[in-house]
Amino acid sequence: MTGRRSRTAAPKRTPSSKGKQGAKEISKLVVNDTDTIQAAMLAIDQNLYRSVIVVNEANVVVGALSDGDIRRSMLEGRLMMTPVHRVMNSDFIALTASEQGRARSIFDETHVFLIPVIDEHGKLLDILTAY
């Protein structure tokens, strides 16, 4: 899993998906791998992080998708109804709960704005944000 962009502010932790407020907040940062490019674009437009985390039906993180990934896919002729799994980046950065302290340096050294926090099975626990 790799990344790309720098930021200077401390990573912001989004609310966990455990509470109603958290579930609503995290839902703006996550799309399902079977969702369409159009649905992903709407989520990206609403979340202000220029990207989303992609999960499968078991809530396992399977990729990331940026507005740039979508733009490139459209230039390749993909339609808005194309499933996200066909255009997502499966080479993404993820951290376990015990590795969250590394987030600041990852945000500083890469182009990512979202880092999923996963369990040992890859299930989404939380999402850290660059700002």
Q: How does the average pLDDT of the chain come out, rounded?
A: 86
Give this prediction's pTM: 0.83
pLDDT of 119 reads: 98
Q: How far apart are CA 38 and CA 68, in angstroms?
A: 14
Residues 36-54: tens digit of each pLDDT: 999 999 999 999 899 999 9
Instruction: Kindly state whether residue 18 falls inside one of the protein's structural domains.
Output: yes
Instruction: Kindly state whether residue 99 falls inside one of the protein's structural domains.
Output: yes
Instruction: Kindly state whether residue 53 falls inside one of the protein's structural domains.
Output: yes
* Tally of domains within the chain: 1
Q: Where are the alpha helices (DSSP H) in the chain?
A: 20-27, 37-47, 67-75, 103-109
CATH number, domain with residue 117: 3.10.580.10
Instruction: Kindly state whether residue 2 falls inside one of the protein's structural domains.
Output: no
Instruction: Kindly state whether residue 75 falls inside one of the protein's structural domains.
Output: yes
pLDDT of 48 reads: 87
Picking from 128, 118, 109, 90, the residue whose alpha carbon sits closest to that of residue 7 is: 109
Question: What is the extent of the structural domain holding 64?
Answer: 12-129
Instruction: Kindly state whether residue 3 falls inside one of the protein's structural domains.
Output: no
Instruction: Kindly state whether residue 76 falls inside one of the protein's structural domains.
Output: yes
pLDDT of 23 reads: 53
